[in-house]
Each structure stands twice: as C-alpha cells, then as structure tokens.
Amino acid sequence: MPQINERQWQGRVLQWIGELLKKYPDLPFSKVDQEFEVLVNGKKRQFNDLTLFDKQGKPICVFEIKLPDKSDGRSPRYLPVVTKTYNSADSLGAEYFVTWNVNSAVLWKTHIPNRAPHERSLIQYPSIAAIRSSEALDLPDVGVSLRKWVEDFLQVFGRIVMGVVLAPPQPLDEGFMQAIQSYLDPLLVGSVAAELLKRYKTDRAFAKGLRQWAVQDQGWTWDDSPQALPESLSRTARL
C-alpha cells in the first residue's frame, strides 16, 4: 500500500470540510482553502495547510496538519509547529488555530492576554485515532472515523465561534501535562502494540480471543492483513 504524503492528506481533509460545509449551511463558515498564502511580519511568505473562513469571508481559523510518523508530527503541541501556525493566524487576523497530527489535535486561541502562544490552548482532543503509519490513512475504518471527528469538530467549533459554547483557556498545568502525555502516548502504545503483535502471531487462542473481543465487545471490524493488523493492535493497546 503506497504511503500517503502530507499534501495528499491535507487535500483529503479539505474535501471533507468542503462537503461538510455544504451539508451544514448553518455553520458560521463560508469556505476552506488549501495552501492559503500569508505574509508573516509583512515579509516572510508562508502557506497555511488549511484556512477556514467565516460567513463574511474573513479567516477565522488556520489548520496545520501533520502526520504522526514524521518528525514534526509527533505531537500537536510540538513547539516549532505551534509557533509557525500562531504566526500565520496572527498575521491573517484569524482568531483561532488548530494543530493536528491525526491521532490528536489542539484548538488554540490566537490571542490571550498574559500568555505565550504555546500556553493558549482551549481544547485538546487526545484520542482521535491510534495510527502508527501514514499508510493506515487509506484503511476504510480509519477514514470513516477521522471524517466523523472532523464533522464533530466543526459542529463544536461553530458553536464556539457563535458564542453558544464557551471555551475558556486550559489551566497552564493541564496544558503542560497534556503536552507530556502527547509525546509519551505514542511510545507507550507502540511498546504495548509490539508485544500484542508477537503474541498474536504465536498464540492462536489469544488471537482468536482478541478478535472476538474487538468485534463482539467493541463493535470494531478486524482485518488481519499486513497493512491493517498493526493499526488494529495499536487501537487495542490504547485502551
């Protein structure tokens, strides 16, 4: 299975958001663009992954989308990525920005008095997915669940923008602990998943019991193919 690259993944999310904006015309958003150009500090050209616009055509949120198996996608709180996205949002006058590495995401407020940009998180979404390789983005179950998260996010974010739902800044200690966890989780899940894979391949009774638990108790589909099995075990390990 060929590995999807970052730009292709951005394009897929762009398509989803465009479709969802048509499906939900009452959302306070008019359109979404990919690679929207912005001048940072009036001189440095930068291209946003995705830019969401409000009904007046004003940028309201900048998205930076990374892949979890790349060095800059290990955490949605990776400081260089947060700083870059903040600079874009600030230069555009967008009130919010999002950093998302597929498995987890953070919604940020561009300006909060007396807080540094990396301290301005509003909501962290820690368990969107549990993929280890970008190849998993082409698995049907993964695509369905990620599209559903995008749909749910747009609904909640729309209510925040309209003032229906309040989203106060996260306490600083909570943001700090989530930053640590966002780096540790992939390591811990990866270790557990590796052990599950060893036993799954050598213990038929264990493998059968695990499949039954996943399908009957969790309601998952289970795929033993070489491409899908590691992702199924990663999802199990996260629990």
**Which CATH number is correct for 6-171, 1.10.3720.10, 3.90.1570.30, 2.30.30.40, 2.40.100.10?**
3.90.1570.30
Report phi then psi at 44, rounded to 5: -95, 120
Does this model's pTM top 0.85? My answer is no
pLDDT at 237: 64
pLDDT at 30: 96
Per the listing, tokens 């629990």 go with 239
pLDDT at 180: 65
Report phi then psi at 40, rounded to 5: -90, 130
Structural domain boundaries in the chain: 6-171, 185-238
185: left (phi over 0), alpha (psi -120 to 50) or beta: alpha
- Which parts of 5-108 fold into alpha helices (H)? 6-23, 79-92
pLDDT at 115: 93
Judged by DSSP in three states, 99 sits in strand
pLDDT at 3: 74
Give the Cα separation of 31 and 59 in Å (integer): 9
pLDDT at 191: 66
Strand bridging mode 59-65 / 96-100: parallel
pLDDT at 167: 87
pLDDT at 238: 62
pLDDT at 129: 85
Express each pLDDT in 185-229 by its tens digit.
655 566 666 667 777 778 788 878 888 887 888 777 777 776 667
pLDDT means per 10 residues, the chain with 239 residues, are 82 96 97 83 79 96 93 88 93 95 94 93 87 84 92 96 89 70 61 71 80 80 71 67
